Structure 1
């Protein structure tokens, strides 16, 4: 994986915390990163080039007037005032290459001096076992702080550990062994049509990222929320708000009456198409 810095810019080695999305249902992780970049005013530093990512190109996601500033599959941003770096991923990983991609990202994170990584991702609402919406949309987490995935700070923030994480379960263990470079055979992992319910979570992109960052000795926390396909803007605010709370960015108010104000990315104006023609009603 190559990091290409924009002309006349220099990456700040003091930006030791990295936020990035893991692609999943509803693209909530990507939407949350868009919201964080737009609201913090993080500056684009360049882009990452990796052979395991499908190519794509688009217009600038944050500026209302195009100036020929293209959006690429993997773009890097920095907020030096908060020692924060962000990576936005806009296209999927080549099928079967998720682990290689995760290893490359982990190598980049170590080489660029990162110490802590926050991964944002959505989970399939249809697999939520214990649904409880009495306190609104919930955040779940998975941390490398303890072997069981728990973290005292996350618990203090009122979040629940992802109960489906079990480091001794076959797929979680297999993923960990591969990330650490241990000699394991591919036939130890079941085929897709043989996957059981407990195999679902370790098969997701966030699990590969978690395992590879952890294997490199980085402190990694996955912030997760259950969602469905559709208009996931509310889920993105929820997940971005959790990241802001976790890092103390002061972006927890939707209306700007406390701390910083959320700035909706310009690209969201057309993310779900134009409003319906009211004359049909």
Structure 2
């Protein structure tokens, strides 16, 4: 599945993997863009799979005309060796009938690559929140038992709320069914979390309740929470804690209204 861009495959042993789920508002993907762009991460390979809608385009993180014409694809891996950090950026939707297969491929790759932990950046429909989910801020987290043993205290210190389980039929007074995990609009987040629990992987998910629209502010909110946990911008060479917006964001809402219309 992973194809190295280098002559010798990179080692991910002990690295933290950050990846988005293609979810409502594309918040996770935008947040991953900010991490790759700000940290100046290096592309080390790509994912070859039939589970994603095919995509190819110019370099989304181009610094000038020289590297703007590089060909980039639907799913690529970037690393920052000094931070022991890897980012799997996914740029196109998962084909619905192959989402289960894609989750299995991802968990298998995570396991074989030796990542110390995986963080999924995701989102969920704000309008489908249960009453208890209306309390507190919009951020929620999920963690597999393996990662919760290590990071549970950190979550308490940060004051974050775990994603609440909700009744199968909310609002019915006689609903005695076991509360279940529901992430409407969250793409593969739930399946990836469930598979990681079964595989005993150290995986966590950070997600925001949001709506479709201009989700750039949501991306900054999510990536700032990620930084609060992983301290991505605390390195001595980083300088001021400031996220760098990639050049590709100039086309987030298209190229503008053609003057010929008027």
Normalised TM-score (structure 2): 0.81
Number of residues of Structure 1 aligned to a counterpart in Structure 2: 241
1-side partners of 2:257 and 2:6: how far apart?
43
Q: 1:59 to 1:73 in 2, by over 3 A?
A: same
User: Secondary structure at 1:88's aligned position in 2?
Assistant: strand
State the 1:113 CA deviation: 1.0
Residue equivalent to 1:111: 112
Residue equivalent to 2:61: 62
Residue equivalent to 1:143: 143
Query: Cα deviations across residues 27-84 of structure 1 (Å, max 9, x unaligned)?
Result: 1011110111001111100101112112111111110435431221110011111111
Q: 1:17 to 1:148 in 2, by over 3 A?
A: closer
User: Secondary structure at 1:211's aligned position in 2?
Assistant: helix
2-side partners of 1:125 and 1:8: how far apart?
45
Q: How does 1:122-161 map to 2 (within 5 A)?
A: 122-129=123-130, 130-132=133-135, 138-145=138-145, 151-161=152-162
Residue equivalent to 1:51: 50
Query: Cα deviations across residues 197-254 of structure 1 (Å, max 9, x unaligned)?
Result: 9674288410011112222221111001011111100000111111122111127xxx
- Structure 1: which 5+ residue stretches go unaligned? 170-196, 252-256
- Structure 2: which 5+ residue stretches go unaligned? 169-178
Normalised TM-score (structure 1): 0.76
2-side partners of 1:239 and 1:128: how far apart?
18
Is residue 189 of structure 2 the alignment partner of residue 206 of structure 1? yes
Residue equivalent to 2:94: 93
Q: How does 1:1-281 map to 2 (within 5 A)?
A: 2-8=1-7, 10-63=9-62, 64-65=64-65, 66-129=67-130, 130-132=133-135, 138-145=138-145, 151-164=152-165, 200-201=182-183, 204-250=187-233, 259-274=240-255
2-side partners of 1:235 and 1:32: how far apart?
9
Structure 1 residue runs of 4 or more that deviate by more than 6 Å after TM superposition:
146-150
Deviates more, 1:8-17 or 1:71-80: 8-17
